[in-house]
Amino acid sequence: MGDLFQPWHLIMIAIIVVVFFGGKKLPELGKGLGEGLRGFKDGMKGVTDEVNKPADTHAVTPKPEESVK
């Protein structure tokens, strides 16, 4: 179980990817993957910033509506 991924496994996977997608398509795939990961990280950062933001302690009470006669 310890030798699940040996170096020749990675070489075989790389060869299969090059044969399947072709050499010209690989940079486009890498770029798309990088942009996707960057977008995911930015989204997660926005969520953690929102959670860690201190809560507004000054609550605003709404004015009661005046009745129309």
In terms of pTM, does the model score above 0.75?
no
Q: Is 59 part of a structural domain of the chain? A: no
Q: How confident is the model at residue 2 (pLDDT cuts 50, 70, 90)?
A: low
Q: Is 18 part of a structural domain of the chain? A: no
Residue-range definition of the domain harbouring residue 31:
26-51
- Residue 36 tokens read as 């996707």
Q: Is 33 part of a structural domain of the chain? A: yes
Q: How confident is the model at residue 39 (pLDDT cuts 50, 70, 90)?
A: very high
Q: Is 5 part of a structural domain of the chain? A: no
User: To which residue do tokens 């050499």 refer?
Assistant: 23
Q: Is 42 part of a structural domain of the chain? A: yes
Q: Is 20 part of a structural domain of the chain? A: no
The string of pLDDT tens digits covering residues 21-36 is: 887 888 888 899 899 9
> Which pLDDT score, from 0 to 100, does residue 36 have?
94
Q: Is 39 part of a structural domain of the chain? A: yes
Mean per-residue pLDDT, 2-6 = 73
Q: Is 36 part of a structural domain of the chain? A: yes
Distance in angstroms between the alpha carbons of the first and the last residue of the chain: 82
- Residue 11 tokens read as 């070489």
Looking at this protein, which amino acid is placed at residue 56?
D
Specify the 3-state DSSP secondary structure of 3.
Answer: coil
The count of structural domains within the chain is 1
